[in-house]
Every structure is written in structure tokens, then in C-alpha cells.
Structure 1
Amino acid sequence: MIINILASGPDEYLPDLTEYNEEGCIWVGVDRGVLTLMKRGFNPEKAFGDFDSVTEKEKQTIKKTIKHLEQFKPEKDETDMELALNWALQQNPKLIRLFGATGGRLDHLFANVYLLLKPLQENTSSEVQIIDQKNIMFIRRAGSYSLENIPKFKYISFVPITHDVKGLTLTGFKYPLKDRHILLGSTLCISNELIIDYGTFSFTEGILMVIRSRD
């Protein structure tokens, strides 16, 4: 199962959502993202939020249209996106995609990026990705992984999330690495590229954010 969650980030940052509308996937709207989905012809199965970014008329439209609506007070401990993600993780899908999570306010951006850590914190097998028009972001704990060469997103960056990442090895890349120790804040692994169909990256300790990007 795949769950796609659309928040209320600026529309100009959104990719073509039809590319991610696989058969059987579940669409969830967060706050104003519910309206965005409806305007683009999607039928959200659930909606989450305090809906403080919509008008009263728009709120009534949402209430009439969405069967499963979770409305919260603006004064709460979690963001609307986190509440939606918490529900999604409880469904144990193989993949959760977050759209509308970038652009606009920086505090919301950083909060959404750190939500990528939730599956690791809760020890679930679900993968969470943030996707916008130019980027795909996800988190990996220590291990060995394969990456496909996707020309549409040719740049690949590796960003330490923990204080340091040990034993980072990149094979099949334009700029290979062998058993390198990467500190938090290092820009060494920004804007690499695959030179074969599939490359690998591995590391022995720490947490990495992987960002696939295009200009």
C-alpha cells in the first residue's frame, strides 16, 4: 500500500501528482492541501488539520465532501502534517509520500524534513519520502543500498543527519568515496551523479538524508 499526503505548501512547488496516482494508492489531504487535491480531480479518503488556512465557506465544502475528517484545534502539540503521518504509519504501508511539504515558511520545511525520521524512531518498515517539483528526499540508517540512475533527478546528495556518518562508500558515482567519515555540516557529498545504471552507497554508523534533485 502507498499513502500520498498533500499538505498546504505553495502549488508551484508541487510535481505532477498524476505521476504518483498508482492504482490502489490512498490520497490524504492536510489543511488547505485537501482543497488542492479536490481542485486537481483527486478524491481524498481522509483529511487532517485545524483548517486555519481556509475560509469558512471552504471549510464547509471540505466537511461536505470528505467522509473521514480529522479536525483539530490550532493549539496543539503536533503539526497537521505530523498528525496525518502518524495515522499513515499506523496503516503500515510500504511507502508514504509527502507533497506540499516544501516552499513557504522555513519552520514548516524543517519540521517536515525531520518527520522523515519517524519510521526510524518508531522502528517501522514504512519508507517516508518528501517530493516536490525538483527533489525527492528520504532517510537511511546505516547499511548498504542500491540507487537507480534516474536522469530526471540526476543529482544525488548525501547529508549527515547525525553528528557524524562513518564508513561512507560510494560506488558507481562520478565522485566515488571509500570508507569516509563525514561530519554533520559537511558539504563533501553534495551534487554527486551516477555514471552507471545502478550505484551503491553504504555506511557503518549514523543516519543519512539522501536527496535526488534536478535543476
Structure 2
Amino acid sequence: MKIRIVAGGPEHLIPDLKEYDSTTDCLWIGVDRGTLFLLRQEIVPQYAFGDFDSVTAAEKNMILHKEIKVNLYRSEKDLTDMEIAVEWALEQSPEELLLFGATGGRLDHELMNTQLLYKSRFSKVDVRIIDIRNEISLKLPGTYEVEQDKKYTYFSFLSHSEVVKGITLKGFKYPLDNADLKAGSSLCISNELVNKSGTYSFDCGIILMVKSRD
């Protein structure tokens, strides 16, 4: 099963969601105003989570009358609507979890949504944040292969821990061999593949990989 969550980030940053739709094994979740964005793209989600304080009364009433399993919450709570939805999705053990509408807008929400990737660190779920220019994922120590993608020209690697040890980049314009990447360092920003594919590996720490385009 594949799960897609659409949150209420700026709508213009959300790509064409039908490109990520698979009618056979795809489950869609709307988070607050993200539910409305899904309906505007003619996708009716199976579930919706939120307090729905970012939609009008008429929009909320319209959502409630759709064939959607709506989970309503109070505005005053300890978790964001997005965190509630992500935790629920991970409990379903999908093979893939894509998050849309998670970037742009309020910076605190964007940073928090990026940190939600940390929740998947001990699972085998492929979790990614996607907008029209970026794809973000969190990686634990190991060796990973990446391929050229017309959507994304640049590859950046950021330390999501105090230090990432033993990072090696092969097949990239700026290769590395057993280097250390410290938090706050721009050493691995805006790299590019020189071959059709390349690999990156590291021995210790946590990496946030960002694939992007101008």
C-alpha cells in the first residue's frame, strides 16, 4: 500500500497530484485545508485529519458531506494535524509515504514537517516530502544509489545529527571520500551527478537528502 498525505501548505507549491495516484493501492489523506486541495484536483481522499480551522464554514460542511472518514480534533492540542496524520499513516506500515503541502508558508510548520521525517527512522517505510521544486528524505547509515532525474538537477546532503562520519560520494561532480559532515556545514550543498547514476554512503549519523531544481 502507498499513502499520500496532503497538508495545507501553499497550494501553488503542490504538484499535479494525479501523477502520484495509483487507483489500485493508493490511499489519500487530507490534512485540514489539504483536504480541499485534494478535492480541487478531483481526488477524494479516504481519510481526513484536522481541526479544519483553516477552511470556511461552507468548505468544512462540504468536506463533511463527502464520502471521507473525517477525524476531527480541537484546535488546542499537543500535536499538529500533520503529525497526527503522519503517525497514523506509519502505523499502517505502507511501503511508501509521500507528504505534499508540507513546505512553504509558515517557517515553523515547514521546519516541523521536515523533522517529522525522523519518525520513520526505524521503519522500512520510504517517506518523502515533495513540492514542485524539491524532494526531501531522511537517511540512516548505509549505501544508497541515486539516478539522474529530469525533475531534480541538484543533490544536497545536510547533517541531521551533530556530525555525519565517513560520507563518500561517487559519480558526483564534487566527490567525497570518507569525509565528515558537521551540522551547519554547507560542504554538500548543490552537487550534481556526472553519470547516469551515483552512490552516497556514510558510517554514522543521520542525513537529510534534498533533491531540487531551480
**TM-score, shorter chain, exceeding 0.5:** yes
Residue 124 of structure 1 deviates from its aligned partner by: 1.5
- Paired amino acid for 1:64: H
**1:168 to 2:163 alignment:** no
Distance 2:208 2:113 in 1: 13
**2:118 equivalent in structure 1:** 117
What residue is the counterpart of 2:101 in the other structure?
100
Residues 55 and 27 of structure 1: CA distance in aligned 2, closer, same or farther (over 3 Å): same
Deviations 1:24-68 (A, max 9, x none): 211110001111111110010000001011111111111110431
Residue aligned with 2:187, SS: coil
Q: Report the TM-score when normalising by structure 1.
A: 0.97
Q: Which residue of the partner structure matches residue 4 of structure 1?
A: 4
TM-score, structure 2 normalization: 0.97
CA–CA distance in structure 2, aligned partners of residues 54 and 12 of structure 1: 17
Report the counterpart of residue 63 of structure 1 in structure 2.
64
| SS in structure 2 at match of 1:192 | coil
Q: Which residue of 2 aligns with 1:153?
A: 152
- Between the aligned partners of 2:162 and 2:125, the Cα distance in structure 1 is 24
Correspondence 1:133-152 to 2 at 5 A: 133-152=132-151
CA contact (8 A) 1:47 1:66 kept: no
- SS of match in other structure, 1:104: coil
The one-letter amino acid of 1:44's match is P
Distance in 2 between residues matched to 1:84 and 1:37, nearest whole Å: 15
Task: After the TM superposition, list the runs of 4 or more consecutive aligned residues in structure 1 that deviate by more than 3 angstroms.
Answer: none
The gaps in structure 2 that reach 5 residues or longer are none
Distance (whole Å) between structure 2 residues aligned to residue 96 and residue 170 of structure 1: 26
Deviation at residue 151 of structure 1 after TM alignment: 2.5
Alpha-carbon distance, 1:127 to partner: 1.8
1:191 positional shift: 0.4
Matches within 5 A, 1:31-42: 31-42=32-43
Partner of 1:65: helix, strand, or coil? coil
Q: Contact 1:46–1:66 (CA<8 Å) still a contact in 2?
A: no
**Deviation sequence 1:165-202 (CA, Å, 0-9, x none):** 00000000010000001110000100000111111000
* Structure-2 separation of matches of 1:114 and 1:65: 32
In 2, the alpha carbon distance for the partners of 1:66 and 1:51 equals: 17
Q: CA deviation at 1:160?
A: 0.3
**Mapped contact 2:135–2:211 kept (Cα < 8 A):** yes
Q: Is the Cα contact below 8 Å between 2:159 and 2:183 reproduced in 1?
A: yes
Query: Could you tell me whether the CA contact under 8 Å between 2:44 and 2:68 is conserved in 1?
Result: no
**Aligned-residue CA RMSD (Å):** 0.8
Deviations along 1:76-121, one digit per CA (max 9) or x if unpaired, are 111100111111001100110000001110000000000011011x
Counterpart amino acid of residue 59 in structure 2: E
- Tell me, in whole angstroms, the C-alpha distance in 1 between the residues paired with 2:46 and 2:93: 16
Give 3-state SS (helix, strand or coil) of 1:156's partner.
strand
Which residue matches 1:89?
90
Aligned to 1:16: 16
Aligned length: 213
In structure 1, the gaps of 5 or more residues are none
